Amino acid sequence: MALDAADLDALVAEAAQILDDAAVPFIDGHRADSAVQKKGDDFATEVDLAIERQVVEALTARTGIEVHGEEFGGADLKSPLVWVLDPIDGTFNYAAGSPMAAILLGLVRDGEPVAGLTWVPFTKERFTAVVGGPLRSNGVELPTLNRAALSDSMVGVSTFSVDSRGKVPGRYRLAVIQSLSRKCSRMRMHGATGIDLAYTAAAILGGAISFGGHVWDHAAGVALIRAVGGVVTDLAGNEWTVDCPSALAGGPGVHEELLDLLRSVGDPKDF
């Protein structure tokens, strides 16, 4: 679908108003109880479900573009144009009362993120960008990312159980963190992948490692990071796509060092 920068900016502006509206029930529902048990120990709150319904209805009506959401699914991710929504990123944080929870919304064209919005309502942070830039934080344009060293950076790392199995076993994740601790003593576990990615785009974090996740965890942040000249790949260094179950993000320099570190740890299959 042919959209120029002005078209994308207009879509982001419309979506921003919709997320501002959704932030009201988001804040009102803090510490919401589990409503739907999902795979493993994951769950969704009533607020997740209500916000997804509200945002999907508004986006569809006001932009004419269908939505793929975490809770209810929706449009094909390989559609010419589709919104990808996570109504509450950091659900455990949200239910526990932590402010580290966000609404994530990415616009994906033919499988590639072209715009991203990340709302962190409790800290009143609003990140928006169209790929090609600029990135804006609460409407203020932020600079592109400078080259930096891993040793000088904070790095966001996703939470995990050391005994977990799967494509990226817990023992591999532990080995990565052990190796990372020798290069960088400033690791952070926010428990919200979308916030880690937004903070990487805003140069609060130098990089982020998401060992596992879904397209709704990553799409918005990928757009934000790419808008300021950052790099997002999978854990093996392949360019991130909507099919990737992981994400390795960083600014120039930091991403390269993180990727070298992961490669030095070895293949997750060997753990």
How, if at all, do strands 67-69 and 82-89 pair? parallel
Element housing 85 (H / E): strand 82-89
Alpha-carbon distance 158 to 80, whole Å? 31
Rounded to 5 degrees, what are φ and ψ at 18?
A: -65, -40
3-class state of residue 89 by DSSP: strand
88 annotated among ligand-binding-site residues:
yes
86 annotated among ligand-binding-site residues:
yes
Alpha-carbon distance 91 to 192, whole Å? 8
Q: Taking a C-beta distance cutoff of 8 angstroms, is the pair 192, 102 a contact?
A: yes
Other CB atoms within 10 A of residue 35 CB: 14
112 annotated among ligand-binding-site residues:
no
Q: Tell me the H-state helices in the chain.
A: 5-28, 46-63, 91-96, 170-183, 193-201, 215-227, 254-265
3-class state of residue 116 by DSSP: strand
89 annotated among ligand-binding-site residues:
yes
> Annotated binding site for Mg(2+): which residue ranges?
70, 86, 88-89, 217
Q: Which residues are annotated as a binding site?
A: 70, 86, 88-89, 217
